[in-house]
Structure 1
Amino acid sequence: MWDLESLVAWKGPQLVRLARALLRDPHQAEDVVQDVLATCVLKWSRIEAVDDPSAYLNRMVVNAVTSLRRRPWRREQVSDPADLPDLAVADASGEHAERQRCLALLRRLPDRQRVTLVLRLYEGMPDEEIADLLDCSTGTVRSNAHRGLATLRRLIAEEGTDRA
C-alpha cells in the first residue's frame, strides 16, 4: 500500500516528463503536475483505494492537460510551434538537442495522436493500458499511433528537405 509521500517521490518526476511531452511549455507542465498533486492531497482516500494509484495519477495528468487545452483563454493564444524559442542547452553528446527536436515534432501532432505516442514511446505503456487511460478501444490507440507516426515521418522528411 502506498502512502502519498512515497508515491509522489517515486512518480513525481515521471508525471513531469509526461506533462512536458504533452504540453509546449515546460513551466506550464510543472504547474499542471503541481495542481494534480494538490488534488491528490485532497482526494487521497479515494486514490489510495484504487488498484493502481500510479495509473490513476497518469490519468489525472492527461485529463488536466486536456482540460487546460480546452480553456477559452488558451484557444485565444495563437502561435506557431516553429516560432517558439528553443530553450534547449546544447550538451557535448547532442542527446539533449535530439530529444528537444523529437519533442518539438511531437508537439505538432494533434492531441490524441501526441498523447498516444508519448504514452507508448516515452512511458513504454502497452496499447491496452493506453486505451484504458484514454477511455477508448485498443484499435483507436493503434490507429492514433499509426497516424501520428506517419505524420512524424512526413514532418521529418520536410525538415530534411528544408535543411538541404
Structure 2
Amino acid sequence: MLRHCAPERRPAQRLRRIRSGRRHHGDANSRMGGSRFPQYRWRLLRYHPEHIAAMSRAVAGLPPRQLPEIAVACRLAGLEPLNIGDDSLFVNVGERTNVTGSAKFKRLIKEEKYSEALDVARQQVESGAQIIDINMDEGMLDAEAAMVRSLT
C-alpha cells in the first residue's frame, strides 16, 4: 500500500513532463499532462491524502527519531571542515588577499595577474593560516567577476 503512494523518485523529471504536456506511460492517474493539469498543481502530487494516510499507518507505533546532542560551535567548510569551539586555541586568518587592505594584492587583481594573486593566498596557508579572507570589494573593480576569475 505504501509503495503505491510513495513520493516521486525523480520529481524534477515529472515536473518537466507535466509542464511540457508529454504523457507518461503509466496508469491513467499518472497521465496528467497538457491543459487538463495546471502547472501549479504538480506540488499536490506528493501530498495526496491517501499518501499521508499510508505514511501515517506505516510509522504508527514507532518512536520518534532521537536527535543527537551537538555542541554549539562555529563550523566552517571548505576543502576541509574547521570546527572552532571553546577548546580551540588560536585560529589564524590570512588577510592579505584583500584589495582594500593589501596594495600588492590590489595591484595583482587590477592587472589580472590571478596566478600571482593565488600565490599570495598560498603563502599565507604555508605560513599557518587556517582561514583565508578573500575580499574583492573595491569601487574600481567588478568584484563579482574578479572573485570568479581569481578562484577558478
- Relative contact order, CA 8 A, sep 6+: which one is greater? 1
Tell me which protein shows more strand as a share of its residues. Answer: 2
Structure of higher CA gyration radius: 2
Report which of the two has the higher share of helix.
1
